[in-house]
Amino acid sequence: MPTQYTPADVEGRLYERWTSAGLFEADAARDAEAPAYTIVIPPPNVTGSLHMGHALDHSIQDTLVRRRRMQGYEALWLPGMDHAGIATQNVVERELKKEGLTRHDLGREAFQERVWKWKAESGGRILGQMRRLGDSVDWSRERFTMDEGLSRAVLTIFKRLYDDDLIYRAERIINWCPRCLTALSDIEVEHSDREGELVSIRYGDGDASLVVATTRAETMLGDTAVAVHPDDERYTHLVGTQIELPLTGRRIPVVADEHVDPAFGTGAVKVTPAHDPNDFEIGRRHGLPTLVVLDEHATVIAEGRFSGLGRYEARAAVVEALREEGRIVKEVRPYEHSVGHCQRCQTVVEPRVSLQWFVKVGPLAKAAGDAVRDGRVQIQPPELSSRYFAWVDNMHDWCISRQLWWGHRIPVWYGPDGEERCFGPDEEIPEGWTQDGDVLDTWFSSALWPFSTLGWPDQTADLKRFYPTSVLVTGYDILFFWVARMMMFGLYAMDGVEPFKVIALHGMVRDQHGKKMSKSFGNVVDPLDWIDRYGADATRFTLLRGANPGGDVPVAEDWAQGSRNFVTKLWNATRFALMNGAHTTGPLPEAVSTTDAWVLSRLQTVIADVDRYIESFDFAKACETLYHFAWDEVCDWYLELSKVPLAEGGVAAETTRRVLGEVFDRLLRLLHPMTPFVTEELWTALTGQETVVRAPWPVADPARANAGAEGVVASLQRLVTEVRRFRSDQGLKSGQRVTAALELAGSPLAAYEEQIRSLLRLTVPEGAFTATASLPVEGVVVKLDTAGAIDVPAERARLTKDLAAARKEVAQTSGKLGNADFVAKAPEAVINKNKARLEAAEADIVRLEAQLAALPSG
């Protein structure tokens, strides 16, 4: 084996070997007795590239799938991509613009051909990046939301929903992008605080007047009412009357509506049903007309002097005209408020009434809520369930139409006599009928992902074996938009069978200060950069080590370096074991030394703990457990302790070699799901077997638990730690040898003199020996000759300070325990904790007094 681990020399070679051997492929017909385990990957956009959020999400999924595969499950991790309607169309339109063309110059069919060509040549680069990360997905089942099978699924479920009166067409307020010229889903709108201008305007005159405030003055041209609260006595005399709308000559009613907050502003609000979602609902309740004054480009179309102006130009012109008429009550002032932007082009979104297609979500959302409430689907961590219920219990009908050319076209046709009909995938379209021009929201097709990717609507072997899927791993930020929709469609299409058993939610990746990663903040980290510099294993381990259930994941450069160091430590430790003859041949000896028994006992605890943590999706604790066992216990202690029997040779050496092999065999298997590349390279070298990918997952053996051995080694560790601390305090280098006599008679550690001397760099005295320091620890007295090396005054000062702290602790804790009121009222656990502190402090006093007495005079 090379002396150094170089990820770039290993990762590509191993991944190619894994995929060529079909190790990640699942088979619906294989081993019917094996339980199925399925994860469908949240499909990344065809335009996307790997970012830290993907890297975290994929590392979690890969950990789950690799472990189940090792546990004997028929494990399927299904990959694929989303066609990303708006994003993809924007990419191709930008290319056309460079050629001086628009999509309209090409026409719809030619434009779609151009998009497919772009997809084949440039789309989907994230799939190659997933390989860099080590994703053990079944590439033979890769799907795309626009491929033939998934398109058939989309047409099929649309037809069923339409026939069940769960899809309808109506005019509603939707999010509209004036740049992309399409409706947007809520998740495609990003909100950020933006400084606007708040203007207060007087409607009407004298006693029959009201003052309203707005940041969108241009929309007043479409006002059809002013609303006040029914109980607001200031305006009771005006409710039911009409006032004049400035600049227009129109008179509009004053209506009473409970939506109005009388304590906010003046307590009166302008009502523009065509351009505000809340106003739209007020308008419906009061039968107000809907007056559209901005077209799809956000240009004023209302008759009059403002016609043809863009919304911002019109805003300034309207304010100036109001000022000229004396209608401005308060001068325009800055006002910071949340503004929605198109996720793709960052254009400010315009609320706009529009004729669109909607899914009637009421019964679907109820079923999705019931599936979690009755326990058929679990949300992990459970405390995030409230977010889910808050969404599904109050869901509005879902706008599914988009004014694009790239996507699944709505399968509704209009006849020559005005007929409307939805056709399924196998129905023939009559001549002379025209198809609806809109396409479906991308989330519509991705909502079918858990079952369409397995062959639905056909009853395939894959669908029978792998549905429902086992777990959905995704960020909490799309719990509402994607997860809820998959629940609705899965339960509807699959006759009430849920799409997944568990929803495992993780947080967002943030920088080390907890700040959201953003290009504008300059704190974005490219996972591919980390993979290039530190390796895929270190990148994955850094992310997983911060992945507490549902919590955000902070990352930093030095943490990635720490994970790289851990991988290096693992490499060097396994090399040491191999160089000293570690092997996995033959059964593990029953008779082993105390140190061998200790490490085997600790290994069983670690196996059980890692299992428990992964089952509860607490990857941070699983990684911490493995990190500290590997580094602190195996590398720092067991390898050092094993050097003595290895040097002795004979039966003791052979037993230790076998135990070394056992420990590294199990440890590498436990680490494999998190750090697949280095563990594959090391495990195959250790065992001589072909791959760890399908090696059995370790199972804890209670018979190997050994509390006695753990107690002895814990005592040895305390002894060594205390003497090391003494050496360090005296400025002795860790490798500097010191002559020492050990008084071990009657101590359980008597059999470990050689290990103690080896760990502490202590040489045996030759001839006359004069101790300059004496340390009584764990029933052993360590007498050191540090003449010329120890700073006696400094050591006396340190011990005196520690002794004073110990005596203070005794005084405080004994005082508490001697207080009858405290003992009577404090919980038993608190009393026991104070008793333990008192005992420890008293023991420290004895130890420190002995050490002070042992110091040489002067």
- Region 608-613: mean pLDDT is 98
CA-nearest of 490, 508, 584, 585 to 550 is 508
Residue 248 pLDDT class (50, 70, 90 cuts)? very high
The single-letter DSSP state of residue 223 is -
Q: Worst-scoring range by mean pLDDT, 91-95, 134-138, 477-481, 664-668?
A: 477-481
The answer to whether residue 37 scores a pLDDT higher than 60 is yes
Mean pLDDT for the stretch of residues 796-804:
90
650, 750: one domain: no
C-alpha separations of 649 from 480, 641, 654 in Å: 64, 14, 7
* Mean per-residue pLDDT, 399-417: 96
Residues 187 and 299 in one domain: yes
Please give the average per-residue pLDDT across 434-462, as a whole number: 97
pLDDT at 794: 80
Choose among 47, 120, 49, 151: nearest CA to 89.
47
**534 and 669 belong to one structural domain:** yes
Kindly tell me if the per-residue pLDDT of 384 is higher than 90. Answer: yes
What integer pLDDT is reported at residue 332 of this predicted model? Answer: 66
Confidence label for 788 from pLDDT (cuts 50, 70 and 90):
low
Q: Return the sign of the alpha-carbon dihedral for residues 366, 371, 374, 377.
A: negative
Same domain, 206 and 346: yes
In a domain, 42, yes or no: no
* Whether residue 562 is found in the same domain as residue 585: yes
**CB 586: neighbour CB atoms within 10 A?**
9
What's the mean pLDDT when you consider all of the chain? 93
Which CATH number belongs to the domain containing residue 812 in this structure? Answer: 1.10.287
Q: State the pLDDT at residue 812.
A: 94
Determine the Cα–Cα distance for residues 284 and 271; give it in Å rounded to an integer: 11
Where does the pLDDT of residue 789 fall: very low under 50, low under 70, confident under 90, or very high at 90 and above? Answer: low
Asked whether the predicted pLDDT for residue 858 surpasses 60, the reply is: no
Q: Which of residues 736, 765, 786 is at a domain's end?
A: 786
**Dihedrals phi, psi of 60, to nearest 5 degrees:** -65, -50
Asked, for residue 30, whether it belongs to a domain, the answer is no
Q: For the segment 313-366, what is each residue's pLDDT rounded down to a tens digit? A: 999 999 999 999 999 987 667 777 788 888 878 899 999 999 999 999 999 999
pLDDT at 184 over 90: no
Domain boundary among 770, 786, 802: 786
pLDDT digits (tens, 9 = 90+) for 192-227: 888 778 889 999 998 889 999 998 999 999 999 999
Helix (H) / strand (E) containing 777 = strand 773-777
732 shares a domain with 693: no
Q: Is the pLDDT of residue 854 over 70?
A: no
* Pair 625, 742 in one domain: no
The encoded tokens of residue 202 equal 């007087």
Q: Could you report the per-residue pLDDT of 721-780, keeping only the tens digit for each?
A: 999 998 887 778 888 899 999 999 888 899 999 999 999 999 999 888 888 888 899 999
CB atoms within 10 A of CB 578: 18
Q: Specify whether 764 is located in the same domain as 805.
A: no
Q: Is residue 136 part of a domain?
A: no
CATH code at 631? 1.10.730.10
Judge if 243 and 333 occupy the same domain. Answer: yes
Whether 755 maps to a domain, the answer reads yes
Are β-strands 762-763 and 738-743 bridged in parallel, bridged antiparallel, or unpaired?
parallel
Domain that holds residue 851: 791-858
Residue 856 confidence (pLDDT): 67
> DSSP code of 44?
P
Pairing of strands 143-144, 398-399: unpaired
Is 63 a domain residue?
Answer: no
Query: Which phi and psi angles does 288 have, rounded to 5°?
Result: -80, 150
pLDDT in tens, 264-312: 889 999 999 999 999 999 999 999 999 999 999 999 999 899 999 999 9
Q: In 3D, which of 410, 401, 318 has the Cα closest to residue 355? A: 401
808 is in an annotated binding site: no
Asked if the structure places residue 384 within a domain, the reply is: no
Distances (CA, A) of 201 to 210, 292, 320, 549, 848: 8, 21, 12, 50, 81
Looking at the structure, tell me whether residues 664 and 715 fall in a common domain. Answer: no
Q: What's the average model confidence in pLDDT over 473-486?
A: 87
pTM exceeding the 0.75 threshold for the entire prediction? yes
Phi, psi of 317 (to 5 degrees): -65, -40
| Residues 839 and 738 grouped into a single domain | no
Q: What is the pLDDT of residue 790?
A: 65
Q: Give pLDDT tens digits for 496-525.
A: 999 999 999 999 999 888 888 877 788 889
Instruction: Specify if 445 maps to a domain.
Output: no
What is the arithmetic mean of pLDDT over 417-444? 95
Instruction: Give the pLDDT score at 224.
Output: 97
Let me know if residue 282 belongs to a domain: yes
Cβ neighbours for 359, distance < 8 A, ≥ 6 positions apart: 161, 166, 167, 397, 398, 400
Whether the CB-CB separation of 50 and 133 falls below 8 Å is answered with yes
Would you state the structure tokens that stand for residue 108, as one six-digit string?
């719809």
Buried residues in 778-796 as b, exposed as e (16+ CB within 10 A): bebbbbbbbeebbeeeebe
Residue type, 296: E
Q: Which residue has the higher pLDDT, 858 or 496?
A: 496
Which residues have CB under 8 Å from 37's CB, separation 6+? 65, 68, 69, 73, 74, 75, 76, 470
Which pair of tokens denotes residue 390? 């808050």
Residues 231 and 321 in one domain: yes
Q: What is the pLDDT of residues 116-173, one digit of tens each?
A: 999 999 999 999 999 999 999 999 999 999 999 999 999 999 999 999 999 999 999 9
Share of the chain above pLDDT 70, in %: 99
pLDDT above 90 coverage of the chain, percent: 82
Number of domains in the chain: 4
Rounded average pLDDT over 230-254 = 94
Which of 698, 725, 752 is the C-terminal boundary of a domain? 698
Cβ distance 256 to 230 under 8 Å? yes
What's the pLDDT score for residue 206? Answer: 87
Task: Determine the Cα–Cα distance for residues 678 and 669; give it in Å rounded to an integer.
Answer: 11
Task: Give the pLDDT mean for 607-628.
Answer: 98
